[in-house]
Amino acid sequence: MPRVIFLKLAPQKTISTLEWSLNMSYQINQADLDSLRRQFNGQVIGTNDPEYDEARTIFNAMIDRRPGVIAQCAHIDDVVRAVQFGRERGLELAVRGGGHSVAGNALTDGGLVIDLRRMNAVSVDPDARAAVVGGGATMSHLDLATGLYGLATTGGRVSTTGVGGFTLGGGSGWLDRKFGLACDNLLSVELVTADGSIVVASEDENPELFWALHGGGGNFGVATSFTFQLHALPSVTAALLLWRPEAGPDVLRAYRDFMASAPDEIGGGLIYVTGPAEPFVPAHLVDKLTLAVLVVYAGREAEAREVAASLLALGHEGELIAEMPYAELQCMLDDPPGYRNYWSAEYLDALPDEAIDRFCTRANDMIVPSASQHVLFPQGGAVGRGPVHYPLPWRHAPWVVHPFGLWLDPADDERARRWAHDIRADLKPWSSGAVYLNFIGNEGEDRLKAGFGRENYARLAKVKTQYDPENLFHLNHNIKPA
């Protein structure tokens, strides 16, 4: 029998989707806060509390929403109580893990934020090569804990990304060609659903829900813990090679040909960036548009140099090559908070010379200097060979273009959005049509369904109807109940 645990709570008022959507003007008063605090183990933060502004700050500085209350949960009982509190009052609910959603889905205006960041514990079983990870953990929490045992699983490409949203969206990272997507390594998920029940989903328990959690995002409840399969990984090698931007077409052609036969141990990408003021960066590239190839090798430096010999012979002008713990690699491209963000993506079935030329030319429209990145990631390997039945049609494309805009001046907002959409339009002739939803914001219903595939979307909608028929959890790439 599926294992479903019900906490004994007060009788719950049922509020229809229409009722709570019309109740957005409800004002949370002091009596409400006091009531929630009395039954809460974590911290309840109201709009007048000194911690409020810091607690509502997320990765994308363009998002400035003011929740009515932020419930920083200490364990799963708090999550259940927060869900009940929001339902009883018809409040819009947002769920916060890492807070990296470009659309700002971790916040709501006037509603309730279920903040999981205190639930960040990671427990590793080195014999079983498995880890149980709290729903509010970041990649840093996960990677540091597993690294103590020379183990790892696919994580995001920066250490501050939340494990929960990353995994529920599919989970593409530096190690995915070797170990598959993050969700491919899921053994089970524990979550609180809209009716306040605690459900465990795995291949054996609630298997249809488990299927939906491989890419379906936060549509079905609040994920409070994940169990992952781990893999042996004593160290990784990172090679960051730099060129002047005009070398782009030739370097990218060589990189395309290299990746066509690269072993699964090779990850990374080709990225146009602003040259940072670092010792390994030539002076003429500092604060200028710079072409970079990042090679991530799941293994020792000597092996990496041998495998990547053809790239190392292309005449780069700057380099950083080092063997390091995986957790250290994860911090290499971390960006501090405070940037304005806009991202998008296009998945490509092919990368002919014309597509390469268009990609390289469009890099000139990127805001420089800034923290923006004009990215081309390879897929293939274990990503392409992964389970075909999950709702992740984008996994079969060999390449993904990812304009990743981060800048400071609000005057650049329109320019950054235009650059992202122009590169997508440039490469549309080679597009697979599918898209990894973690790489985009709100781009409309068609893009949403392209992220799942239309047949998968219909099946996901049935799962949504079973676990969240009133669409309580809708601040996400939203699947509407059937």
Q: What is the C-alpha to C-alpha distance for residues 111 and 461, in angstroms, rounded to an integer?
A: 25
pLDDT for res 138? 97
CA angle 138, 139, 143 (to 5 degrees): 130
**Token code pair at residue 108:** 């709501």
**Does 4 score more than 50 pLDDT?**
no
**Does 16 score more than 70 pLDDT?**
no
- Per-residue pLDDT of 48-69, as tens digits, reads 999 999 999 999 999 999 999 9
Which position has the token pair 């923290």? 371
DSSP characters for 348-382? ES---HHHHHHHHHHGGGS-SSSS-EEEEEE--TT
Tell which residue, 102, 77, 283, has the closest CA to residue 197: 77
Instruction: Describe the strand order of the beta sheet including 222-229 as a list of residue ranges.
Output: 4-6, 197-202, 186-192, 222-229, 130-134, 122-125
The number of beta carbons lying within 10 Å of the beta carbon of residue 480 is 15
**Does 420 score more than 70 pLDDT?**
yes
pLDDT for res 26? 65
Domain ranges of the chain: 236-444
Cβ atoms 435, 447 nearer than 8 A: yes
Tell which residue, 341, 258, 271, has the closest CA to residue 297: 258
pLDDT for res 333? 81
Q: What is the C-alpha to C-alpha distance for residues 471 and 475, in angstroms, rounded to an integer?
A: 9
**Token code pair at residue 132:** 């149980």
**Average pLDDT for residues 195-199, to the nearest whole number?**
96
Cβ atoms 319, 240 nearer than 8 A: yes
In this prediction, residue 1 has a pLDDT band, given cuts at 50, 70 and 90, of very low
Q: What is the dihedral of CA 479, 138, 65, 55, to 10 degrees?
A: 140
**Does 20 score more than 60 pLDDT?**
no
In this prediction, residue 451 has a pLDDT band, given cuts at 50, 70 and 90, of very high
Cβ atoms 440, 417 nearer than 8 A: no
Q: What is the C-alpha to C-alpha distance for residues 166 and 209, in angstroms, rounded to an integer?
A: 17
**Average pLDDT for residues 181-190, to the nearest whole number?**
98
Q: Are strands 197-202 and 186-192 parallel, antiparallel or unpaired?
A: antiparallel
CATH of the domain spanning 236-444 = 3.40.462.20
**Does 214 score more than 70 pLDDT?**
yes
Q: Are strands 112-115 and 93-96 parallel, antiparallel or unpaired?
A: parallel
Give backbone dihedrals phi and psi of 222, rounded to 5 degrees, phi first: -100, 110
pLDDT for res 18? 39
Tell which residue, 333, 338, 83, 108, has the closest CA to residue 221: 83
Q: What is the C-alpha to C-alpha distance for residues 90 and 252, in angstroms, rounded to an integer?
A: 52
In this prediction, residue 2 has a pLDDT band, given cuts at 50, 70 and 90, of very low
Q: What is the C-alpha to C-alpha distance for residues 278 and 114, in angstroms, rounded to an integer?
A: 39
pTM of the full structure? 0.93
pLDDT for res 14? 37
Cβ atoms 161, 155 nearer than 8 A: yes
Residue 9 C-alpha from the chain's centroid: 33
In this prediction, residue 15 has a pLDDT band, given cuts at 50, 70 and 90, of very low
